[in-house]
Amino acid sequence: MKLTLDQLAQATDSSKSYIWELENKNPPRPSAEKLAAIAKALDVTLDWLLGSDEQTLEAAEDKAFFRAYSHMPEETRRQLREMAKILGAKKDT
């Protein structure tokens, strides 16, 4: 999931400057509460956020996609399945 600093700050009840500091300060020292809020906002595990999980960003994006997919109207899901079939067929050619 891609978020701007503003969006992440809003989602974690933090300031934009605080998020910027976490990204650029070496080493960052966020509280456990802030780490949990950031992991939740990014839809990743706390272990992944800390670098101790093998979950890739791609896997996290897939998880977010399927969560969104499950809440889509049936017709939208049907259209996406059809598009996936078409894209898969193009890959095989």
* Radius of gyration of the chain from its Cα atoms, rounded to whole angstroms: 17
Domains of the chain: 1-54 (1.10.260.40), 56-93 (no CATH)
pTM assigned to the model? 0.54
**Closest among 69, 73, 71 to 84, alpha carbons compared:** 69
Position 14, amino acid:
S
pLDDT at 75: 97
pLDDT at 27: 82
Q: Read off the pLDDT of residues 9-67 as tens digits, 9 standing for 90 and up.
A: 999 999 999 999 988 887 888 889 999 999 999 888 888 788 776 656 677 778 888 88
CA angle, corner 55, sides to 88 and 78, nearest 5?
35
